[in-house]
């Protein structure tokens, strides 16, 4: 009976440790994905020879917001991604593989 008491806190700590790392990994993946999306937006904007300000005006946001999108510092909704695609004359395709 005395053995159960020390083991239980160890299991709880282990679960917290694993959960913390899982959350960190998800956060890291999210950051990587935001940067990738930002690079895609930047490349598409440059192919259309638009400035950040011009793209911002087309979708109704500030230049700072576009800067944040392209730097991967801002979450984008699907609606926002569609607005960006429309403003760039591009098709938005999302796939889960």
The full set of domain ranges for the chain reads 4-87
CA distance 69 to 76: 7
**Sign of torsion over alpha carbons 28, 30, 36, 42:** negative
The answer to whether 72 and 37 have CB atoms below 8 angstroms apart is: yes
Per-residue pLDDT reduced to its tens digit, 39-92? 999 999 999 999 999 999 999 999 999 999 999 999 899 999 999 999 999 999
* Fold adopted by 4-87: 434 Repressor (Amino-terminal Domain) (1.10.260)
Residue 27's H or E segment, with its range, is: helix 4-47
CA distance 80 to 30: 17
Per-residue pLDDT reduced to its tens digit, 14-52? 344 444 444 454 556 688 889 999 999 999 999 999 999
Nearest to 92 by CA among 70, 80, 15: 80
Per-residue tokens: 37 = 């999306």
- pTM for the whole thing? 0.70
């Amino acid at each position: 009976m005395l053995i159960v008491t020390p083991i239980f806190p160890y299991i709880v700590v282990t679960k917290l440790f694993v959960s913390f790392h899982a959350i960190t990994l998800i956060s890291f993946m999210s950051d990587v994905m935001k940067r990738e999306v930002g690079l895609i937006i930047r490349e598409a904007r440059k192919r259309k020879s638009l400035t950040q300000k011009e793209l911002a005006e087309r979708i109704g946001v500030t230049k700072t917001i576009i800067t944040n999108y392209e730097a991967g510092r801002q979450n984008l909704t699907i609606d926002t991604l569609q607005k960006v695609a429309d403003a760039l004359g591009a098709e938005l395709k999302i796939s889960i593989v």
